[in-house]
């Protein structure tokens, strides 16, 4: 990067308007929501496309596989390709996939669209490190927190929104509306965002090889990825099984479950708060607090298992506190990893997200198994164990390994 480019970068970092950060946060939420729309409407989709109930889970699985593929093989490209152009290209892929899903009448076509929806949705993980390039080191935690709060709101709102739209207009409307929204968003981002041209000093092959090098040489990346994988695994376990408990133990309808999910959205407030406190040097303390809150949440869920209204209210509280722990720790982790390798943030973010997303997939699988074989008691115990393992690992942190995190 020459002198003028460096000066321009510094100027951009100090003059980036607040509306761009808001746009990035909203964009992340709208994009990542596409990963979760199908989860609460698998029944109607399966009926329309001829998928058996046993095979319906392939929709979620293929979407997740597509997302992990994108994290490992597309997000790192943001370190060598102009970011805005890369975003637009894969938003086009996402729009086409959503249109295909809308008009799918066969299982093969919808499953193919699901895979491509997962791949296209990784644009959200290009936007997050992109935001850090626009800001100074002193404000990085706050900016990451604000952007991630938008992303987390998208994750949490996607399921209830899909349920409400499906009940009113059918499942096709969910994907049709999203296709229109993402197309408009693509046009807005292409015009509103400043260009970011990284220094392409690596070939794509070298870029892929460097992923292993980064993972091997950055112990804090491995540590923060394990922390978040454990917490996100517990989060996924909870949201995979709690709809079953709400229906079986409390008799809630699909709409009632959707309202419960909306209540959990309150946990997203932890993201910007955690970012601001991380900027003040409280990263390590807040990390431990997030793990303790997650453990306590599942502890309460285990202890109070009656079918009373009080237990239902307590379950709402657990949903909020668990979401706060996961969203807050996510922001803390991303602030740490973005300080490890300034010119490799795309690759570092891809590794971090793919590892913790795998943790989420493990949590979902364990949740389905535990609820089927041991009911809510076994599920809550496993949910408690996952952040407990992270807390035990957290206690092995030394002052040396936390230098870059504070």
pLDDT digits (tens, 9 = 90+) for 320-375: 999 899 989 988 998 898 888 777 888 898 899 889 888 887 888 788 788 888 99
- Residues 211, 212, 214, CA angle at the centre, nearest 5°? 65
Using CA atoms of 186, 187, 193, 197 in order, give the dihedral in degrees to the nearest 10. 70
What mean pLDDT is reported for the chain?
86
Q: How far is CA 316 from the centre of its chain?
A: 21
**Range of the structural domain that residue 340 is part of:** 205-406
Q: pLDDT higher for 101 or 47?
A: 101
Domain endpoint, select from 154, 170, 201: 201
Q: What's 45-78 look like in SS3? A: HHHHHCCCCCCCHHHHHHHHHHHHHHHHHCHHHH
Mean predicted confidence (pLDDT) in 1-18: 50
User: Looking at residue 57, what is its pLDDT?
Assistant: 65
Domain count of the chain?
2
Q: How many residues are given for the chain?
A: 406
- Does residue 149 sit in the same domain as residue 277? no
pLDDT digits (tens, 9 = 90+) for 36-84: 898 777 778 888 998 876 566 678 778 888 998 999 899 999 989 999 9
Task: Classify residue 53 by burial, with Cβ atoms within 10 Å: 0-12, 13-18, 19+.
Answer: exposed
User: Looking at residue 53, what is its pLDDT?
Assistant: 61
User: Looking at residue 338, what is its pLDDT?
Assistant: 83
- Does residue 27 sit in the same domain as residue 130? yes
- Does residue 264 sit in the same domain as residue 167? no
pTM: 0.79
Q: Are 223 and 213 in contact (CB under 8 A)?
A: no
Q: Is the pLDDT of residue 174 over 80?
A: yes
User: Looking at residue 3, what is its pLDDT?
Assistant: 43
- Does residue 243 sit in the same domain as residue 261? yes
Task: Classify residue 178 by burial, with Cβ atoms within 10 Å: 0-12, 13-18, 19+.
Answer: buried
- Does residue 168 sit in the same domain as residue 191? yes
User: Looking at residue 189, what is its pLDDT?
Assistant: 95
- Does residue 321 sit in the same domain as residue 285? yes
Q: How far is CA 150 from the centre of its chain?
A: 10
- Give the model's confidence band at 406: pLDDT under 50 very low, under 70 low, under 90 confident, else very high: very low
The CATH number linked to 240 is 1.20.1250.20
- Does residue 10 sit in the same domain as residue 146? yes
User: Looking at residue 2, what is its pLDDT?
Assistant: 45
pLDDT digits (tens, 9 = 90+) for 223-282: 999 999 999 999 888 987 888 888 888 988 767 877 887 877 777 778 788 888 888 888
């Amino acid at each position: 990067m020459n002198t003028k480019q460096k000066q321009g970068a510094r100027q951009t970092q100090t003059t980036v308007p607040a509306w761009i950060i808001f746009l990035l946060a909203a964009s992340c939420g709208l994009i990542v929501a596409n990963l979760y729309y199908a989860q609460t409407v698998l029944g109607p989709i399966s009926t329309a496309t001829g998928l058996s109930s046993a095979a319906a889970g392939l929709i979620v699985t293929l979407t997740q596989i597509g997302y992990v593929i994108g994290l490992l093989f597309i997000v790192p490209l943001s370190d060598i390709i102009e970011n805005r152009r890369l975003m637009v290209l894969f938003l086009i892929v996402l729009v086409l996939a959503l249109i295909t899903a809308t008009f799918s009448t066969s299982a093969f076509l919808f499953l193919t669209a699901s895979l491509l929806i997962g791949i296209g949705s990784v644009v959200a993980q290009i936007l997050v490190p992109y935001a850090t390039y626009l800001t100074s080191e002193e404000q990085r935690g706050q900016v990451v927190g604000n952007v991630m709060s938008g992303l987390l709101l998208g994750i949490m709102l996607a399921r209830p929104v899909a349920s409400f739209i499906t009940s009113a207009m059918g499942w096709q409307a969910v994907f049709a509306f999203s296709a229109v929204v993402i197309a408009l968003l693509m046009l807005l981002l292409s015009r509103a965002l400043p260009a970011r041209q990284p220094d392409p000093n690596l070939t794509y092959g070298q870029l892929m090889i460097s992923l292993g090098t980064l993972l091997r040489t950055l112990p804090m990346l491995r540590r923060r990825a394990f922390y978040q994988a454990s917490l996100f695994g517990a989060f996924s376990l909870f949201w995979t099984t709690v709809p079953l408990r709400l229906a079986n133990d409390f008799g809630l309808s699909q709409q009632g479950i959707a309202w419960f999910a909306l209540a959990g959205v309150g946990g997203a407030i932890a993201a910007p708060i955690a970012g601001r406190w991380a900027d003040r040097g409280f990263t390590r303390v807040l990390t431990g607090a997030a793990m303790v809150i997650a453990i306590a949440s599942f502890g309460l869920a285990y202890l109070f298992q009656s079918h009373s209204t009080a237990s239902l209210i307590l379950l709402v509280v657990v949903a909020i506190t668990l979401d706060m722990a996961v969203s807050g720790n996510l922001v803390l982790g991303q602030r740490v990893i973005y300080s490890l390798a300034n010119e490799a943030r795309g690759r570092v973010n891809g590794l971090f997200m793919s590892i913790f997303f795998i943790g989420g997939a493990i949590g979902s699988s364990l949740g389905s198994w535990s609820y089927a074989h041991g009911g809510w008691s076994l599920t809550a115990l496993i949910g408690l164990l996952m952040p407990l393992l992270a807390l035990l690992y957290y206690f092995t942190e030394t002052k040396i390994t936390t230098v870059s995190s504070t």
